[in-house]
Structure 1
């Protein structure tokens, strides 16, 4: 349950940040679109966590996705600087 609540929240926050940075529109529109997309992202993360057989698999999936999103955000920051 912690993977769904805490991991899902962290994953959703990272996905929202990555989307807001990479959507091809103005900053305000990208931020709003990313925030609106965060609701289905969080829902999918919660469903996926509860659909897995073990807590270990749930944490690994959330963690791997978070690492990919953190790498994307870091790469975007390096390119923009």
Structure 2
């Protein structure tokens, strides 16, 4: 893959894919947080704000853009399963 296309794909993975996975982090944490709904929402949002930069860095640390997208997809599936296991329905 061309180097510029690879970098553009990683940027897309870090921004768009990272945002999606961070949103799923917020949902999963909020669903599993053992407190009332308001505190769970705040905890989920704070966890997502911490996760997003880590996800972006992981996308650029991956060996290729394909691995970055595969990692995002796998993480999204795990988080979606965790949220749905706690009773969340999209």
TM-score (norm 2): 0.82
- Among 49, 68, 74, the residue aligned to 2:59: 49
Task: Select the structure of larger CA radius of gyration.
Answer: 2
Query: Aligned equivalents of 1:35 and 1:68: distance in 2?
Result: 18
Q: TM-score, normalised by structure 1?
A: 0.90
Q: Stretches of 4+ moved more than 4 A in 1?
A: none
| 1:77 alignment partner, SS class | coil
Question: Which deviates more from structure 2 when the two are superposed, residues 34-43 or residues 9-18?
Answer: 34-43
Q: Which runs of 5+ in 1 are unaligned?
A: none
Structure 2 unaligned spans of 5+: 1-10
The CA RMSD measured in Å over matched residues stands at: 1.1
2:42 paired with 1:35: no
**2:87 maps to what in 1?**
77
Aligned length in residues: 78
Distance 2:43 2:26 in 1: 9
* Separation in structure 2 between the aligned mates of residue 76 and residue 45 of structure 1, nearest angstrom: 23
* Counterpart pick for 2:33 among 9, 23, 31: 23
In the alignment, which residue of structure 2 is the partner of 1:64?
74
